[in-house]
Structure 1
């Protein structure tokens, strides 16, 4: 991704002017991570922010039962890290598959927000969307069955053509849905048997979105 593409992405994410996007880009560093690379460890003192350009970053925490739990996940256009000031990370932050981010120090971001009103407005919209996503996940955890959460995650990961590429890793999908790998595998197999989804070389395709939506209970 070149400078022009990065600037255009920031302009879209923050809904700011090209000049403001260029200022953001100049203050940030492009960093690429591979699958399972760690961006931060639980207990570290954080002083950076990351904006996702491509891929997915996951925040994992150890539950009271000693099992790894997914606290949150951040995709393109989302922001995570230490803000509005330095803070101790409450979770490990790792890359799922390949992850491309723009990295900026917390203090630099704070200075940019003082200089650009529209950058601040854009940041508030980004955080607002992420807050709503967290509430949706909390509601799903309370109201949906484990299988229903797996199906909901499939819909969330699908693109406008109802395709998921590459094929989701069952263990990762189950972790995102806050359930076991066995439950996730059974849920996916049941959909394949009913002809609701289909695997192919490029990934997974949802053949009947309406049928899948009706199974989310």
Structure 2
């Protein structure tokens, strides 16, 4: 890990509304953290009092059950934040944060964030919006686990990854998700075998093409229909 204070914090939607002076002041109170793939930022159950915003790379948030099974709660990319719950409800971390790729984050502690929430209503508004979006995604995930089959959940997960990390190419949307087959299965709450079967079916139908830790979505419309 290394510390730095370079870069504009307004790359994160949470602080996008700040002017030059405010952004410079905020950057001076933040710490940059660099991780290599596989590095753990914090473990589930550890105390924490910092909010993190991803500036480059990807972080996975996961939980482990008492019998050793793992579940991925979310993949966070550039501009997205996590760890904010500990600022408002002090307690142990509810997930383990691990770098999926080489990742850079900026961290802000509770004591440094509080003045921005009370003195800058736009920051507080953005934070509330981010929390509401997180809750909405959680509700959608719970509903999918109850009402959707595995292929439907796989299709929806790929479309979500495409929306956040996809790049349009000549033959489709190139989505570098950087996840192993096991991690992708954990993200949709299913076995690797079942998820691989769904992916193989999608590929056979011509909806997507597999690449190393990536897919190219060739038919967004049909994949969208399957996700519903």
Q: Which bin holds the TM-score, normalised by the shorter protein?
A: 0.7 to 0.9
Residue number in structure 1 paired with 2:148: 144
SS of 2:105 mapped into structure 1: strand
5+ residue gaps, structure 1, are none
Q: What's the offset of the Cα at 1:77?
A: 2.3
Corresponding residue number in structure 2 for 1:134 = 138
Tell me how far 1:157 sits from its aligned partner. 1.0
For the residues of structure 2 that align with 1:137 and 1:32, how far apart are their CA atoms? 30
Show the counterpart of 2:74: 72
Decide which moves more: 175-184 or 87-96.
87-96
SS of residue in 2 equivalent to 1:101: strand
> Corresponding residue for 2:197?
186
More displaced 10-residue stretch of structure 1: 205-214 or 163-172: 163-172
CA contact (8 A) 1:84 1:110 kept: no
> How far apart are 1:51 and its partner, in Å?
0.9
TM-score normalised by length of structure 1: 0.87
1:138 CA drift (Å): 1.6
Aligned to 1:52: 54
The alignment covers a number of residue pairs equal to 215
Query: Compared with structure 1, are the counterparts of its residues 22 and 135 closer, same or farther at alpha carbon in structure 2 (3 Å cutoff)?
Result: farther
Q: Per-residue CA shift, 1:45-74, capped at 9, x if unaligned? A: 112110112232222222254311223333
Conserved 8 A contact 2:100-2:178: no
Residue equivalent to 1:93: 97
Cα separation, partners in 2 of 1:7 and 1:146, compared to 1, 3 Å = same
**Could you say what secondary structure the match of 1:77 adopts?**
coil
The 8 Å contact of residues 85 and 107 in structure 1, kept in 2 or not, is answered as: no
TM-score (norm: length of structure 2): 0.83
Question: Given the superposition, is the C-alpha separation of residues 99 and 26 from structure 1 closer, same or farther in structure 2, using an over 3 Å criterion?
Answer: same
Counterpart contact for 2:5–2:28, Cα < 8 Å: no
Q: 1:1-217 to 2 correspondence within 5 Å?
A: 5-10=7-12, 12-18=13-19, 19-63=21-65, 65-81=67-83, 82-84=86-88, 86-158=90-162, 159=166, 161=168, 162-165=173-176, 168-200=179-211, 203-217=214-228
CA–CA separation in structure 2 for the residues paired with 1:93 and 1:208: 33
Unpaired runs of 5+ residues, structure 2, are none
Deviation at 1:165, TM superposition (A): 2.0
